Amino acid sequence: MLIDSHAHLEMPEFKKDLEEVISRARSSGVEIILTVGTEKGDWARAMEIARSHPKVYAILGVHPHNAKEIDEESYPILKRLCMDEKVKAYGEIGLDFFRNLSPRDLQIRRFREQIALAGELKLPVVIHDRDAHRETLEILKSEGAGVHGGIIHCFSGDGPMARACIDMGFLISIPGTVTFKNEGDYQEIVRDLPLDSLLIETDAPFLAPVPFRGKRNEPALVRYTAQRIAEIKKISFEKVAEATTNNALRIFGIRA
């Protein structure tokens, strides 16, 4: 059994063949998928998908790219939706200083606000961090963000950052980039991380693993990430599958 801890099934890329995508995931051993609605226009669709499929759950929040779109209606709507039993985490939230699609000071303010809302809802937080490692760590520490657990989605930091996040109660989620040939340093970080702190994810439709790099990613392909982690750590695929599944069930509060 595998769990894709982070996908975006509500995105347009899956509009035409969603049922086939979910069926292929099941055939590949992926029993549970977490679909992540990152902006107001996606929340209803993410909830619709989760409610229509017993083994699909939702994560809702506002991505840092969309921080500028938060208005007075956003948090009340999120709070109501997140009380649904199909919502298992709050996110993805955080900082993206690579694309800067929202002003940095506004990203920081909305990040802090959403950590507080997740705490009020008693949900784990799913963190997006791109080119903002220092600021992300500082905010996570100052806001006590790990109180209900959390996940560093699509981890891109270094070993010390990973260990600092783990110490705060976070899990480290590994995407398909770990399969890329030019990611030797990243693979060394993964090798050294404790298995009980790892999740696997696709971030579908993005970041398809080798040998599908450049194509649309989908939950069935999370198997390739698990296989590469097993190779890097020199352990069995089954051990990686079991550990990452148990970690996901625990952090999301899901009963298999």
How confident is the model at residue 182, as a pLDDT? 86
Q: How far apart are CA 181 and CA 202, in angstroms?
A: 17
Q: What is this structure's pTM?
A: 0.97
- Give the tens place of pLDDT for each residue, 212-240: 999 999 999 999 999 999 999 999 999 99
How confident is the model at residue 195, as a pLDDT? 98
Q: Where are the alpha helices (DSSP H) in 122-204?
A: 133-142, 159-167, 184-192
Name the nearest CA neighbour of 27 among 223, 199, 212, 247: 223
Confidence of residue 58 (pLDDT cuts 50, 70, 90): very high
- Give the tens place of pLDDT for each residue, 67-117: 999 999 999 999 999 999 999 999 999 999 999 999 999 999 999 999 999
- Number of neighbours of residue 103 by Cβ within 10 angstroms: 11
Confidence of residue 185 (pLDDT cuts 50, 70, 90): very high
How confident is the model at residue 184, as a pLDDT? 86
In the predicted model, what is the mean pLDDT of residues 146-156?
Answer: 96
Taking every pair of C-alpha atoms in the chain, what is the biggest distance, in angstroms?
Answer: 50
155, 173 Cβ separation under 8 angstroms = yes
Q: How far apart are CA 161 and CA 165, in angstroms?
A: 6
Going from N- to C-terminal start, the domains of the chain cover 2-252
CATH, range 2-252:
3.20.20.140
In the predicted model, what is the mean pLDDT of residues 45-59?
Answer: 98
- Give the tens place of pLDDT for each residue, 20-44: 999 999 999 999 999 999 999 999 9
Name the nearest CA neighbour of 87 among 15, 25, 36, 19: 36
Residue 157 is classified by DSSP as S
How confident is the model at residue 37, as a pLDDT? 98
Three state DSSP letters for 201-256: CCCECCCCCCCCCCCCCCHHHHHHHHHHHHHHHCCCHHHHHHHHHHHHHHHHCCCC
Confidence of residue 183 (pLDDT cuts 50, 70, 90): confident
- Mean of all residue pLDDT scores within the chain: 97
Whether the per-residue pLDDT at 242 is higher than 90: the answer is: yes
Q: How far is CA 242 from the centre of its chain?
A: 18
